[in-house]
Amino acid sequence: MKFGTSGLRGLSVDLKGRASALYVTAFGRYLLDSGMVRQGDAILIGQDFRDSSPEIAANCADALAGLGFEIRDCGRVPTPALALNALQEKAACLMVTGSHIPADRNGIKFYRPDGEIDKADEAAITAAATELDIAGFTFETRHTGPKNQSGECLAVFRDRNAGLLPAHALAGLKIGVYQHSTVARDLLVDLLEHFGAKVVPFGRSETFVPVDTEAVSDETILKLKDVARQHNLDALVSADGDGDRPLVADETGMPLRGDLLGLITANFLGAETVVTPVTSNSGIEAAGHFSVIRTRVGSPFVISGMQDALAAGGVHVAGFEANGGVLIANDFNVNDHMLRALPTRDCFVPILATLSLAASRRQSLSVIAASHHLPFAAADRLENFPVETSARLMAYLRSGSASLTAFLQPIGEVGSLSDIDGLRVTLTDRRITHFRPSGNAPEMRCYVEAESPAAAAALLQTSLERIRWWAKAN
């Protein structure tokens, strides 16, 4: 078990057992010891559609009930819906989800009564879990039968989004909703129809389908293209497993990059300060009327950057990640609707903002994407790439200019470097290749930028091949 870029992650078989109860007990004790909550306070629990999630959620409920908390079951709801409901009630919450990673893995996202936990909280929870483990922690199933709050949780979140656009704002658009196994699947259809769109749901699955919105698989893209052509769609939308990362594809079925969705949303909101990780497109700074703060990858770092911006006197502060998830630091007035702060990733606002732009301009999403004139970017990952191998590779690349030059010899010459998170190399010809181990899974990620889609694809392929070569040789 370890905390990654967003939440605790591990093998499903482990989390179904003692491990989930151990970490959730540590979380509960940390909240009590720090004075953030008291015994008898409510804690909300949500989950995704993974086969392992109900058992893990039950373990979490039992462990927290054993500490004297009132447990409220929000069922299978999007993470941002759970977080919003908990914020309004000033209650802690946790979401059982592995987000986009394969079904043999799962995770838990933790929230204090005032929002998502930060890196200091993660360290404290890990230390408390270690102490409990050493002391011989045991877990007993209690069958708590928590209060059901799923309907209220979804209603609060729907109301937040239902006033975001004018009535019939999406009338005339025909939109496909790739439902697969995301907990956002029914609410997406509901909201798009609410705004007047004609909706074509497809691909609903009773087994878990991992969809990574930051590195959409070729198989998924082929599915989107086929459905777009078959139904003559204007756009297709979806989300990852827990509904905090959006997927928006244009009229051809080609997904738009998440950082473009974030950029469109920042402009839609009228943000004055934008916080985004170093992996987001290098053209963001010149693409809007806002200042930009760059961070490491992961929502805790984006949230910390937003908090720093607010503390420095910033107003209208928003953030987004390269996966498209948008975070809102303070209240925004949008279309005469008060959009309350929600400093955790959300897929719904970026989806609605992007579709409303297409509707208001009466332009296709492919034209809108091209109009932003961002450098062409691509990203992918090597799955089942041992964490130890990633660590050795990064140590080698950082060991000196000779090592990095040798590694990049088939790719290009080093112009400049950024070591904020992973190693981001700007080559002398201004192409960018960025090597970064995943914080959530045994994966090695690569992000690139180039002057054309073909050049970006070629650079990505060469960079990934170079990683494979090094791993075999070392």
Residue 147 DSSP code: E
Residue 395, Cα to own-chain centre: how many angstroms? 27
Residues 370/373/375/379 CA torsion (nearest 10 deg): -40
Judged against a pLDDT cut of 70, whether residue 435 lies above it is answered with yes
In contact, 294 and 420? CB cutoff 8 Å:
yes
Q: Give the helix/strand (H/E) hosting 270.
A: none
Element housing 288 (H / E): none
Task: State which of 8-12, 102-106, 249-253 shows the largest mean pLDDT.
Answer: 249-253
Residues 6+ apart with CB under 8 A from 123: none
Domains of the chain: 2-151 (3.40.120.10), 174-371 (3.40.120.10), 376-473 (3.30.310.50)
Helix axes 150-162, 348-361, angle to 10 degrees: 30
2-16, 318-332, 403-417, range with the lowest pLDDT: 2-16
* Catalytic (active-site) positions: 99
Question: Where would I find the beta strands (DSSP E) of 159-208?
Answer: 174-178, 198-202
Whole-number pLDDT of residue 143: 67
| Residue 122 confidence (pLDDT) above 80 | yes
C-alpha span between 32 and 26 (Å, rounded): 10
Number of helices (H), then strands (E), in the chain: 15, 24
Looking at residue 440, what is its pLDDT?
Answer: 65
Q: Which residue has the tokens 């073909």?
A: 454
On average, the pLDDT of the chain sits at 93
How many Å from the N-terminal Cα to the C-terminal Cα in the chain? 27
Structure tokens belonging to residue 234: 């204007």
Mean per-residue pLDDT for 387-415? 94
Q: What is the tens place of the pLDDT at every residue in 125-166?
A: 999 999 999 999 988 777 667 888 889 999 999 999 999 999
Amino acid at 62: D
pLDDT at 184 over 90: yes
Q: Which residues pair with 94 in a beta bridge?
A: 45, 110
